[in-house]
Structure 1
Amino acid sequence: MSGPKDLDPSSSPRALLGAELRHAREKAGLSQEELGGRLFVSGSFIGQLEAGTRRMQPDYARMLDEVLGTHDFFTRNCGAAAKSRYLEQFAEAAEAETFATAIRQYAPLLIPGLLQTPAYARAVNRAYAPTAPEEVIDEWVDGRMERTRLLNDPTKPLLWAVLDEAALRRETGGRAVMAEALRHVAGLAHRNRVIVQVLPFSVGAHTSMDGSLKLMEFEDAPPLVYLEGVGTGRLEDDPATVKHHKLAYELLTASALSPQKSLALIEALAQDYSHEELP
């Protein structure tokens, strides 16, 4: 496995920790696979820590200090690298997005976070936490909008989203909010910034009926899949698991409407939401 490129230590605590881990590993004369063996993890997991695509947990930090002879460096610093404005079950996936070269996602019930407008994000978060203080909702919305800045780059990451028709027809936040949200998605597609397909109701049963999935690819680390449920989420790097969900995603894209027909449906629904009644 090729080692990751040099990281800018000033870019983030996680980047600093990854760069220091690579330096300490190489100083100890260990490959990623050899170090992983001593921690009972895969070499690819060590590569992900070095590349910054995985968060270093305290247990691993203590083991790394012991194996690499770094005293308590990783133990002391893993806390700063773990700080996040996102909910715990999603934090690692959100942070991995920032390193991804490609993101492929199936969303069964709502428009994905990277494609959301502030008003739509507010409606979703308020539904998740109906009694939360307004300032907490504000913070969550700000965090979600910060994630969308990934799309400010005109070419990367590649973002390919398959949206279930249910996500487009579920009136979230009211008709005006939905009209704006769908126009926003259509605008991104028109600007060739994202690829969007709609999985219509007419498809019937499909490969991902039990939930959403997100596949992420990286330049210097193995791919990951993020699987999410109500109040839960986990990143998986097991090659067989990633391969299984990659096939599931490919089958979804084969069953979905073409990007052109999907865009036409999204724009038609946005127009419908702009009127008083749906047809």
Structure 2
Amino acid sequence: MPAKKDPDASESIPSFYGAELRYRRELAGLTLEQMVEGSFRGASYLSLIERGERRMPPDLARHVDKKLGTDGFFERRCEDTAKARRVGHSANFEDVPDLEKQAMSLEEWQPEIIPGLLQTAAYMSGLIRHGAPYTTPETAAERISARMARAKLWELPDRPQYWAIVRESVIRNTPLSAVVMAEQLEHVAALIRSTQSVFQIVPETTFWHPLRRGTAKIMTFADSPQLVWADGNFVGQMIDYPPLVRQYRQAYDLLRAAALSPEASLALIDEAARTYRDEADKEARPA
């Protein structure tokens, strides 16, 4: 995977924090390897922190302060930076957006909704309205903004290869309006085609298949082991235990075989989008 360019330090608090860390390290004449010597972290992890792409764990922050003689600066600002990274995301999800950008490939299974990286703002707003109606307008706006920010991944020249699988009910059974669903499905079809990605649908007639419960996002990296993000209604966890990751890997491969072909799936998306668009046009006509 090509090396990523240095971020603009003014872009965000994590970018500023990382830029300051790199400045202090280089001022001290230390390489990444020398900086992490004696800690429980690797040079590649520290490099990601310097680029604003990973959070600084407290143990490493204390190590850095001791090594650089920065009087606790990085430990004190560690939580502030973590909070900035969490805006619009749950605490246990805060690392996922950056990991998505670093991955060589992303493979997703979503049995209930359109995957987040493919969602429009109107679709996301509808999810919040129907699925979390007690969400304040301010929190809803933060979540939608964070979701749209993740979608900037599609603009990266070295974006990961992407593969998504959903159940047919995701596009058929929805409380959202016809116009929202038409726009959402048109967006999915256009994005999948323009990025040479893959989208598959498990038909409603397939009752039994792997990964029937919960979601899965398998992330493959150039120089580190695969990770799986698994999510439920109110909890989510990052899985890195190799035997369990292999089980998800095998289940996802079987799920691919149970789904419609990519061509048939996109044809189904196109057909559903046309149906929603026709319905939306009829609703817009004066009586």
TM range (shorter): 0.7 to 0.9
Question: What per-residue deviation string (whole Å, max 9, x for no partner) do you get for residues 115-154 of structure 1?
Answer: 0111101111223331333233222212111111111236
Mark the runs of 5 or more structure 1 residues left unpaired by the alignment.
Answer: 37-42
CA distance in 1 between counterparts of 2:6 and 2:216 reads 30
Q: Contact 1:56–1:78 (CA<8 Å) still a contact in 2?
A: yes
Q: Contact 2:36–2:46 (CA<8 Å) still a contact in 1?
A: no
The answer to whether the aligner puts 1:8 opposite 2:15 as a matched pair is no
CA 1:219–1:191 in structure 2 vs 1: closer, same or farther (change >3 Å)?
A: same
The answer to whether the aligner puts 1:58 opposite 2:58 as a matched pair is yes
Which structure: larger Rg? 2
Number of equivalent positions: 263
CA distance in 1 between counterparts of 2:111 and 2:169 reads 7
Q: Contact 1:160–1:194 (CA<8 Å) still a contact in 2?
A: yes
Q: Contact 2:203–2:259 (CA<8 Å) still a contact in 1?
A: yes
- Written as runs of structure 1 = structure 2, the 5 A alignment for 1:231-250 is 231-250=234-253
Q: CA RMSD in A?
A: 3.2
- Written as runs of structure 1 = structure 2, the 5 A alignment for 1:149-164 is 149-153=152-156, 156-164=159-167
CA distance in 2 between counterparts of 1:65 and 1:153 reads 31
- Written as runs of structure 1 = structure 2, the 5 A alignment for 1:36-55 is 36=40, 47-48=44-45, 50-52=47-49, 54-55=54-55
CA distance in 2 between counterparts of 1:5 and 1:35 reads 24
Mark the runs of 5 or more structure 2 residues left unpaired by the alignment.
Answer: 10-14, 281-287
Which residue in the other structure is 1:128 paired with?
131
CA distance in 1 between counterparts of 2:177 and 2:245 reads 37
CA 1:158–1:28 in structure 2 vs 1: closer, same or farther (change >3 Å)?
A: closer
Q: Contact 1:102–1:218 (CA<8 Å) still a contact in 2?
A: yes
| Alignment partner of 2:186 out of 183, 186, 190 | 183
Give the Å deviation of 1:226.
Answer: 0.7
CA distance in 1 between counterparts of 2:46 and 2:245 reads 18
Question: What per-residue deviation string (whole Å, max 9, x for no partner) do you get for residues 163-185 of structure 1?
Answer: 12121123142221111111111
Q: Using structure 2 for the length normalisation, give the TM-score.
A: 0.77
Q: Using structure 1 for the length normalisation, give the TM-score.
A: 0.79
CA distance in 2 between counterparts of 1:28 and 1:146 reads 32
Give the Å deviation of 1:196.
Answer: 0.7
